[in-house]
Structure 1
Amino acid sequence: IAFVQDVISGAKSATSLTDANYDGKIDEGDIEQIEQILNGTEKEITILDSANRTVTIKEPVNKIAVYGNEPADALRILGAEDKVIGVENNLEKKAFFPEYRNLSTIGGWDADYEALLSLKPDLVIAYAAQEIDDKKLPGITVLHFDFYKARNTFKEIKTLGVVLGKEKEAQEYIDFCDEIIDEVRGKVDSLPDDQRARVYIETADPYVTHTSNGATGYQIELAGGRNMAADLAGSATGWVEVDAEWVVKEDPQVIVKMAGWNRGNISSGYETSDTGDVQKVWDEIRNRPELAKIKAIQDNRVHVISFDVTYNPDFIISVAYMVKWFYPDLFRDMDPVAIHQEFIDKFHKQLKWNVTKEGVFVYPPLAS
């Protein structure tokens, strides 16, 4: 409030967050809006979502329909899973979301408008690139968030926390992640470029990788690696198709291959405790004849990681594994499995999941 007062008086310059009520001007109305948010008495709140849309939401939000694993994950991190009344097709079947098992489904990438109108949620959360026609949903507010691009996750979870009155929970999540990020940066930030691990990350599809805008691009950056595809021109969601010749030319020191996500009937993550599928993925990429001479293959630095710990707000688990793979000597004392368990116990405690006994999140397993 004091900062906004200084902006009004001319003592300080406005930021993108100063216009709290999004009316295009900085005045006493913004101070009033901030006071209402702090007191929990606001009747509506206006935010900028990840599709760059200015959206006004009526408060309080009690019923939510959600598309995608990642936003559903974020809702649980915020302690708002009890507000969910409808989920994307197949989400109700996932082992990671037992609380959604008996909920109504609302379609997939193509929204089921009839189902949404029948449920009458206060709020629909969808991906930024997902097209939902608000005009077909009178009286229902639609927000677009991703929660799979680590670079934007803190901002998104803060914003959703404000919308749901879960600011404290959002900050607890950010603080947890920041503590690990600070530890990593304290060791990797001083590394010169020629000492940073050169990394090729491959999605579940062969020779499809992520740019700096992709889900894992920022994770590699946080872990101190050099993403070979960082500067390539990719899709809006950050993926780009390359070929074997490109990978050979780049000659990565480390290969990280993602597994699961309904590609090739591969089970990983929370869906299975059988390593058979991820071992097949590992064997396949290691045995591609066209890659036989690259450094990562020669040095046996090929790792498989499940989408369940990369493509969601749980990305800090992926970062912990990556630094262990990129710089095993530098991070000899870091324990990604313990970090994973602590994250589950803190933000997904209702799962009562033991990550050392259940699930397949990386392959080969870390040496104990």
Structure 2
Amino acid sequence: MKGKMLASVLALCLFLGISAADFTLHIYGNADMDDVIDEIDIEYARGIMDGTQDMTDLADVNGDGKVDDEDIRLTEEIINGTATEIKVIDSDGNAVAVKVPVERIVIYNHQCAEILQILNAADKVTGVRDTFERQGSRFPEICKKKNIGNGADVDIEAIVSLDPDLIIAYTFYPTKEDLDEKLPSKIPVLRIDCAGGGPCGIDSIRDCVSILGYLLEARGEAKKYQEWHDRYVDAVETRTSGIPEEERVRVYLESTPEGSETISSRTAIGKNHPAGNLIELAGGVNVAVGHLPLYMETDEEYGEIETEWVLEQNPGVIVGRAMGSGVRPYENEDDSLLRGYADEIRSLPGFDGVDAVKNDRIYIITNDHAVTPNYPSALLLLAKWFYPEVFEDLNPKEAHREYLEMMGISKDLADKNTFYYPEVA
């Protein structure tokens, strides 16, 4: 059942693409498979009942194999806010039933924690993984919640003691064997991708924001985020759509090197990775697409590539995704780590002959800035780096300030030179 559902989700994503105009809200009751549950879903469900509409994956709310008046009643409860349970499809393709309203949350996922702040739900968090306590600027309230340890050595007793209504985890961390299978069955685990990876791309984040908006009775805040998101993503897509393929910049995208031989090989990023999706949305041509292995059990291209191969591609732009090794842009005080990363790339043997180096087009962007629900402001940044004349009037830093304001944290953090390098006018 899980495999069939996941295949349906992926097929839908591939059909819709990654335009800001369309995404499907993966909540049962969304009979017409659009981005909201409303009276049109009631009409659609009645159409299924009388044979004038086709059956859809999300129409059977109670899971009894048919659509009837009970499904309509449950959908009406979701619409008017009186539902006691909402069933969603998570990023793993699992159907997860959650009792609402959700009041106590344990969270492992940093990106989703940003969404909780956007939804004014930080006060509902009761437990966090150990890495939150070192991020006071990014998560001023959440960082003070009970530390339940890391996801590699899950402390089930600590989690259960908090009596959570919901646990929010990454799709791959902690593993189901370490977490889900050891928990009491009454505690639901929601594994959602708030980073923008996979075939669904950025739509996965929009879906997650909306799902959490329904579960946390914060649909208004979720809508505000969607409007901010669409304003900037649409602006970029509209302008890049007019750039001919032969005039698009060729980009080599890599991550902070993970191998031991960082001179002879690099850690490159390709198709379906969140950062790779951003490169494509910004109008870049990622030269590594199709030349990398898939990461773990995902469909994201990510892995080692020979430095010599990069030289042969002679990219016009190099983008480095900075992460790990103390790269915490909300907490760091200067851009020394980012400048050091750019200098490392610049000094690689033979790279002085690469167009990106010769034309001073090495750009560094932090993971916590780009691979998060903040990605629309990161998208503006990349687009402006790639095509400065086309995007001269757009201000990535102002978009970031708006995002921080939605999160309820100091928008002045956007003025720190720690999120990307170099600065952009």
Q: TM-score, normalised by structure 2?
A: 0.81
- 1:359 CA displacement: 5.0
Residues 356 and 102 of structure 1: is their aligned pair in 2 closer, same or farther, counting only changes over 3 Å?
closer
SS of residue paired to 1:98: coil
The equivalent residue for 2:411 is 353
Report whether the alignment pairs 1:155 with 2:207: yes
Provide, for residues 80-134 of structure 1, a one-character-per-residue CA deviation record: whole Å limited to 9, x for no partner.
1111000111212202011023211122222221210111111100011121333
Report whether the alignment pairs 1:173 with 2:225: yes
Report whether the alignment pairs 1:84 with 2:116: no
Q: After the TM superposition, which residues 20-39 of structure 1 pair with which residues of structure 2 at under 5 Å, given as runs?
A: 20-39=61-80
Choose the corresponding residue for 1:116, options 159, 164, 175. 159
The equivalent residue for 1:217 is 276
Q: After the TM superposition, which residues 137-286 of structure 1 pair with which residues of structure 2 at under 5 Å, given as runs?
A: 137-138=183-184, 139-149=186-196, 151=201, 152-205=204-257, 207-231=266-290, 232-235=292-295, 236-237=297-298, 238=300, 239-260=302-323, 262-263=324-325, 265=326, 267-286=327-346
- 1:144 CA displacement: 0.5
- 1:42 CA displacement: 1.2
Whole-angstrom CA distance in 1 between matches of 2:273 and 2:284: 15
The equivalent residue for 2:15 is none
Q: Give the counterpart letter for 2:219 in structure 1.
A: E
Structure 2 contact 115–209 (Cα < 8 Å) conserved: yes
Structure 1 contact 21–45 (Cα < 8 Å) conserved: no
- 1:71 CA displacement: 1.5
Report whether the alignment pairs 1:101 with 2:153: no
The equivalent residue for 1:136 is 182
Residues 17 and 284 of structure 1: is their aligned pair in 2 closer, same or farther, counting only changes over 3 Å?
same
- 1:268 CA displacement: 4.6
Structure 2 contact 417–423 (Cα < 8 Å) conserved: no
The equivalent residue for 1:56 is 97
Report whether the alignment pairs 1:13 with 2:60: no
Detail structure 1 runs of 4+ shifted over 4 Å in the superposition: none
Instruction: Select between 12-21 and 163-172 the one with higher mean Cα deviation.
Output: 12-21
Provide, for residues 232-271 of structure 1, a one-character-per-residue CA deviation record: whole Å limited to 9, x for no partner.
44214522221212212222211111223x32x4x35111
Whole-angstrom CA distance in 2 between matches of 1:48 and 1:356: 34
SS of residue paired to 1:258: strand
Residues 59 and 268 of structure 1: is their aligned pair in 2 closer, same or farther, counting only changes over 3 Å?
closer
Whole-angstrom CA distance in 2 between matches of 1:246 and 1:30: 56
Whole-angstrom CA distance in 2 between matches of 1:6 and 1:295: 59
Q: Give the counterpart letter for 1:74 in structure 2.
A: I
Task: List gaps (5 residues or longer) in structure 1.
Answer: none
Whole-angstrom CA distance in 2 between matches of 1:60 and 1:36: 13
Whole-angstrom CA distance in 1 between matches of 2:181 and 2:335: 46
Structure 1 contact 244–290 (Cα < 8 Å) conserved: no
- 1:72 CA displacement: 0.9
Residues 70 and 234 of structure 1: is their aligned pair in 2 closer, same or farther, counting only changes over 3 Å?
same
Task: List gaps (5 residues or longer) in structure 2.
Answer: 1-41
Report whether the alignment pairs 1:329 with 2:389: yes
Q: After the TM superposition, which residues 37-48 of structure 1 pair with which residues of structure 2 at under 5 Å, given as runs?
A: 37-48=78-89
Structure 1 contact 157–170 (Cα < 8 Å) conserved: yes
The equivalent residue for 1:339 is 399
- 1:209 CA displacement: 2.3
Q: Give the counterpart letter for 1:195 in structure 2.
A: E
- RMSD after superposition: 1.8
Instruction: Select between 197-206 and 76-85 the one with higher mean Cα deviation.
Output: 197-206
Q: Give the counterpart letter for 1:172 in structure 2.
A: K
Q: TM-score, normalised by structure 1?
A: 0.93
Q: Give the counterpart letter for 1:210 in structure 2.
A: I
Residues 8 and 251 of structure 1: is their aligned pair in 2 closer, same or farther, counting only changes over 3 Å?
farther
Structure 1 contact 244–291 (Cα < 8 Å) conserved: no
Whole-angstrom CA distance in 1 between matches of 2:219 and 2:85: 16
- 1:356 CA displacement: 5.1
